[in-house]
Chains A and B, each alone.
Chain A
Amino acid sequence: MSKPYYVDEDLKKFGEITEWQKELGEKYFDYYASVFKEGALTEREKALIALAVSHVVHCPYCIDAYSKDCVQKGCDEEQMMEAIHVGAAIQSGATLVHGVQMMNKVKDISM
């Protein structure tokens, strides 16, 4: 049987990336921890942003982690789905706005 590329057990091993590059790994995890601390945005708001971004970057590990984190921090199902729609709207917008470039090019080469 073929082995899947994504294995949920690997999420628990994320910290091990530090073993092969200690300094950068530690800097990354310190930065990561600081980013998600309560600041001008609440931890809950940050979890919702992370959930939306997780979907946009198609990261199954991040989706598992931030679905749980959002529920844990008191987000409801509606809020979580709306956050994903925000991500989807930006992602599709990013595709569609290139339509202007297409239109420009077509105009440039047309009589």
Chain B
Amino acid sequence: MALATKSLASRQSDLSNPKEQIKILSDNESVGVKSFTEKLQQIDLFPLKPTQLDIFQVNVGKMCNQVCKHCHVDAGPDRKEIMTKKTMQLCLDAIKNSTVHTVDLTGGAPEMNPDFRWFVEEISKLGRKIIVRCNLTIIVANPKYNDLPEFFKKHNVEVVSSLPYFSAKRTDSQRGEGVFEKSIKALKMLNEVGYGKEDSGLILNLVYNPTGAFLPASQEGLEREFKKKLREGWGIEFNSLFAITNIPVSRFLEYLIVSDNYEDYLTELVNAFNPTAALGVMCRNTISVSWDGYLYDCDFNQMLDLKFSGSTPQHLKDFNDKKLVERNIIINQHCFGCTAGAGSSCGGEVAK
């Protein structure tokens, strides 16, 4: 299958409209499966409620140097939506007065936001743990990014990076030609400053997500294989592997439909519904903030433009962490992606 070389938005695809995606996802009857609502009702978990706010995930923009075929953000070099410093300040104000212990920065390539480093420095001053979802290739994309490993180290940032496979063929088929080689180079640069090394305290976690229409196997087995292959092949070390299920949203939804895998994939997700994973879904202790300051239950709901429900303030300027834990989390069929098998979150499996 040909690679997606441009975003859905720039191709003016129908699927770039979140309403169109929701229309497809909501039609569970055509697929012949139960709705996510029914599944939650069966285990007495509907309406789905938050537990408490621990993780504040910020999508600082859709601009990216890569155009991955499965990207749920529909990110790419042609996307210009990025968070302003003013909105970042609203994030800082919200974090300061909340129970948040971790700030998770994502994109696009978050490092491409011109105020990214300022934002990290300011979060660091608040004493919160910082995660940056780094696509690796950005580190070697331009000399101005070459010092990112040192910058991350200075602020004790936990680096979480996607590497779908330990070979060029499968990695490049998902993330673009040459991505594997550049990723290896960037991983070596992170290792050189101590990332992923035992006792350095600098955490480098990798994300495995399947390179096609199938669910991830056990995180433990994959981690063992990745560690062995990356160490033997390139001398690369990392801490943990997070196995993440691809959620049928945006470009991955497009891939499923075009490759005629949509119905089978959805059916597989529904059949693999795990009540224990449902109890631990990340939207119960995480919120997601968009580049323009709106609030969502997760990054996927953000891309589907499903803002906080009911009377819960929907924008950072009205942020109220006490009110937001009272909300009902918005669900649809894509949520089966987080409850299949061992479950899936931005931190990998949720149920052992």
Report yes or no: B170 in contact with A43, Cβ–Cβ below 8 A. Answer: no
Q: How many residues of B contact A (CB 8 A)?
A: 16
Check B221 against A68 for contact (C-beta < 8 Å).
Answer: no
B221→A74 contact, CB < 8 A: yes
Contacts of B222 in A (CB 8 A): 73-74
Q: Report the minimal beta-carbon distance from B215 to chain A, rounded to whole angstroms.
A: 7
Could you tell me the distance between the alpha carbons of A73 and B165 in the complex, rounded to whole angstroms?
Answer: 11
Assess A44 versus B214: contact at CB under 8 Å? Given A76-B167, A77-B169: no
In-complex Cβ contact of A44 among B212, B215, B216, B225 (8 A): B225
A-chain residues with CB within 8 Å of residue B224 when the two chains form the complex: 42
Complex: A74 Cα to B221 Cα, angstroms: 9
Report the interface size for chain A: residues with CB under 8 A from the other chain: 11
Q: Does B140 contact A (CB under 8 A)?
A: no
* Count, A-B residue pairs, CB within 8 A: 33
> Does the CB pair B221–A44 fall under 8 Å?
yes
Which residues in chain B, 213-258, are within 8 Å of chain A measured between CB atoms?
214-218, 221-222, 224-226
Interface assignment of B293: CB less than 8 Å from any CB of chain A: no
Known: A43-B221, A74-B221, A74-B225. A68 touches B167 (CB 8 A): no
- Residue of chain A at shortest CB distance from B213: A68
* Contact indicator A42/B212 (Cβ below 8 Å): no
A43 to B226, CA, bound (A): 15
Min CB gap B183→A, angstroms: 17
Q: Tell me, yes or no, whether B108 is within 8 Å of chain A by CB.
A: no
A71 contacts the other chain (CB 8 A): yes
In the bound assembly, the distance between CA atoms of A77 and B224 in angstroms comes to 19
Closest to B267 in A: A12
The answer to whether B215 touches A72 (Cβ under 8 A) is yes
**Shortest distance from the beta carbon of A61 to any chain B beta carbon, whole Å:** 15
Closest partner residue, chain A, to B218 (CB atom): A43
- Determine if B214 and A68 form an interchain contact, defined as CB atoms under 8 angstroms apart: yes
- Closest chain-B Cβ to A77's Cβ sits at a distance in Å of 7
What is the CA–CA distance of A77 and B166 in the complex, to the nearest angstrom? 12
9 A-B residue pairs with Cβ-Cβ distance under 8 Å, sorted by A, are A38-B218, A38-B221, A42-B224, A43-B221, A72-B215, A73-B221, A73-B222, A74-B217, A74-B221
6 closest residue pairs by CB, A with B? A73-B217, A72-B217, A74-B225, A72-B214, A74-B222, A68-B214
A residues adjacent to B (C-beta < 8 A):
38, 42-44, 68, 71-74, 76-77
